[in-house]
Structure 1
């Protein structure tokens, strides 16, 4: 039973402000989430004319939020935790238990400092970009011979190669690892057998990396001191103890998996270059000054993470609403970056918006919000943008190719989303006079 305004009648024990919050009249909105995907929260908020709407997903009470004020809440307020906020099927594929994302307070900040030292060091980032450039050039002769590639698959493979070399785990079975990591990302939004199989494959990946960490500590494998493998294998917690080898394996994957995930952004960047011919010709002329602006607009416009979530650890008040302890909150990342109040004409690709992750704009949150050093903001944005910029340069300046007829539509009810074809490139050749042609 609901009122005419779509709100439930008052129920005993319900905080007054949640009674007053706009409420989805459906008993459960899980099927709508599956059918609407990235648009789910924004559709709900538009329908209820509010940036905060209560509903149920899998019969669990949740408050769906969008906008910069909501981003400040999830990434800046006290009294919130990420523990228990993510469905277990997603958690086990993307982060797993014991990871930095599942820690809070001083423990989170101490572990986060490890990732900041690796991911926010310009020299280390440039080293990773160099490894990707090398891996790309190594693959070019095969692309020429094959005549036709699916860029999304190829990007995952070459980023796995680059990431492994950079992290110091280059002796891992590269093709197998690429497929395993791709599955972790690609199946995270699925349920049932596809998800279970990806979890089983991840367990095998973690087992191999756990063995590698143990070999490093035993002196059987000696990685360079500047590598992520060395840093993670010998990282000590606040109490001075080394990470459990299983946790160290998880954290290694929490470096490699996001690197491979950048392949989706690279695929969307290639799609944007195909559609935005003026920008493509500018970059092909060698003028790459605005490649960063282009990459950031790709991040804003393209579906990547649909949502992020948190759970209250104590009663908190936000925008006049009193959330009880244990309240599940869901922040719409995609909807916030497509909100016309923040980004006029949000469906138009406009690199001249001159967006930048460095500004930590609470509306420009494709990979999360907050302060990178203190809260849960992704520390990998520098890596993401630099890899994208290099991929744009390689696509435009070191190779020629054609985009044959294919289905480039993007289904927003598939999470994570991608061009249906995976972005097929054909008639690939190295551009004359480039470093790639000389290396060939």
Structure 2
């Protein structure tokens, strides 16, 4: 361990391979080892500052100090985000585009998403009696894909749902991947963009009538700060940035089922749609289980924080998993305890499974959609009788993103 400019600097030429081999624990291990919330390492040949904790998260979202332009590697843009999508934007253009996404998250629109999610769960459940088993994660992906497309005004053929759902999932799965998983994500992105470009073209030409409150209509006719419509490719990318995160909620639903299985005494938390108890349970699922490992940004201009120098252009990673398990913020952080949220003040920088802050910064606008879809889905699970056979429900803390290995198998499934 060396100190440079008052920041702990990790020895070694490069730690990219170590990051892939340690996954979610890469940053937490080092903050614990060095006794600091800040340290410098080398990743892909560049000096990178890693930081963790509430104060670090608050500072990370200071738009005067940080920018997203240049933070997301092209390999992630070509799989997860789409090239030059909202996640890579800054300043007034980002705020303008962000308002477009936030405008889709009204109470009535979120309620509609919940209704569609419930409808498609019930529709699929009617077929489960004929099956020896179901894999919850796979079912959830397809339910959410169908619900998201209808909610967003995107036509989808029934026969295409498995492929479209798998494509959205593979984009997410490519985040921390190299080799085959990465290439699956790129192929999935290419297929999805080709499909959605056709949807945008049909809406603009009038061949497809879209509800004016829908995401498809909003993206097709959105205008930038100069009054120009998005080009077709960018409109498609941003519409996918609405659909993909909804399908990704399948991960949280699977972890929610795992939590209910491991803690049967908590079933009442999601019984009969008890708003307060369900909300607490959902927030604990999002806090406790691993989803995103970290977020990246680049220093807009040089500054000093906590006696450490942040140099212009430097890449900085904010530890999501470690912050959500910070013992200074959460009592017994590695214990699953929904009641911890009973008196939670709703802080923007302590619970950050999908990022921090909302309107003007880069917190995910899909967070409200996540909570709504989880409420409906977990309540639906409580309406089922099912058995959980012996299976491998462990999940890797190295694989990013992670999931129970069996994807949660259920047998003898029927509505109560």
The answer as to whether partners of 2:72 and 2:88 remain within 8 angstroms in 1 is no
- State the 1:192 CA deviation: 2.1
**1:80-126, Cα deviation, whole Å (9 max, x unpaired):** 1112212322222111223111111110011111000002x011001
1:303 and 2:298 correspond? no
Q: Counterparts of 1:322 and 1:300 in 2: how far apart (Å)?
A: 30
**1:339-398, Cα deviation, whole Å (9 max, x unpaired):** 11111111100000117998233111111112x1111111111111111111111001x2
Q: What's 2:142 paired with? A: 157
Q: Counterparts of 2:282 and 2:180 in 1: how far apart (Å)?
A: 35
Q: What's 2:88 paired with? A: 102
The answer as to whether partners of 2:63 and 2:361 remain within 8 angstroms in 1 is no
1:19 and 2:5 correspond? yes
- State the 1:193 CA deviation: 3.2
Q: What's 2:50 paired with? A: 64
Q: Counterparts of 2:164 and 2:213 in 1: how far apart (Å)?
A: 22
Which of 304, 318, 328 matches 1:341? 328
**1:193-232, Cα deviation, whole Å (9 max, x unpaired):** 3312320221121011112111111111111212111111
1:7 and 2:7 correspond? no
The answer as to whether partners of 2:104 and 2:213 remain within 8 angstroms in 1 is no
Q: Counterparts of 1:427 and 1:163 in 2: how far apart (Å)?
A: 28
Which of 352, 369, 381 matches 1:383? 369
Which of 130, 144, 157 matches 2:129? 144
Q: What's 2:252 paired with? A: 265
Aligned length: 414
Find the residue that maps to 2:61 and give its secondary structure: helix
Q: What's 2:116 paired with? A: 131
Q: Counterparts of 2:290 and 2:276 in 1: how far apart (Å)?
A: 25
Q: What's 2:405 paired with? A: 420
| TM-score calculated relative to the size of structure 2 | 0.96
1:204 and 2:161 correspond? no
Q: What's 1:234 paired with? A: 221
Gaps of at least 5 residues in structure 2 are none
4+ residue runs over 6 A deviation: 355-358
The answer as to whether partners of 1:28 and 1:57 remain within 8 angstroms in 2 is yes
Q: Counterparts of 1:357 and 1:133 in 2: how far apart (Å)?
A: 28
Superposition pairs of residues 314-325 of structure 1, within 5 angstroms: 314-325=301-312
Q: What's 2:14 paired with? A: 28
| TM-score calculated relative to the size of structure 1 | 0.91
- State the 1:23 CA deviation: 1.1
- State the 1:159 CA deviation: 0.2
Going from structure 1 to structure 2, the CA distance change for 1:279 and 1:389 (only over 3 Å counts) comes to: same
Q: Counterparts of 2:344 and 2:18 in 1: how far apart (Å)?
A: 32
The answer as to whether partners of 2:387 and 2:413 remain within 8 angstroms in 1 is yes
Q: Counterparts of 2:328 and 2:273 in 1: how far apart (Å)?
A: 35
The answer as to whether partners of 1:357 and 1:381 remain within 8 angstroms in 2 is no
**1:304-328, Cα deviation, whole Å (9 max, x unpaired):** 0100010012112212212111111
Q: What's 2:79 paired with? A: 93
Which of 217, 220, 223 matches 2:204? 217
- State the 1:279 CA deviation: 1.0
CA RMSD of aligned residues (A): 1.7
Q: Counterparts of 2:274 and 2:229 in 1: how far apart (Å)?
A: 47
Gaps of at least 5 residues in structure 1 are 1-5, 9-17, 432-440
Find the residue that maps to 1:359 and give its secondary structure: coil
Larger Rg: 1
The answer as to whether partners of 1:337 and 1:364 remain within 8 angstroms in 2 is yes
Find the residue that maps to 2:104 and give its secondary structure: helix
Find the residue that maps to 2:41 and give its secondary structure: strand
Which of 32, 35, 57 matches 1:46? 32
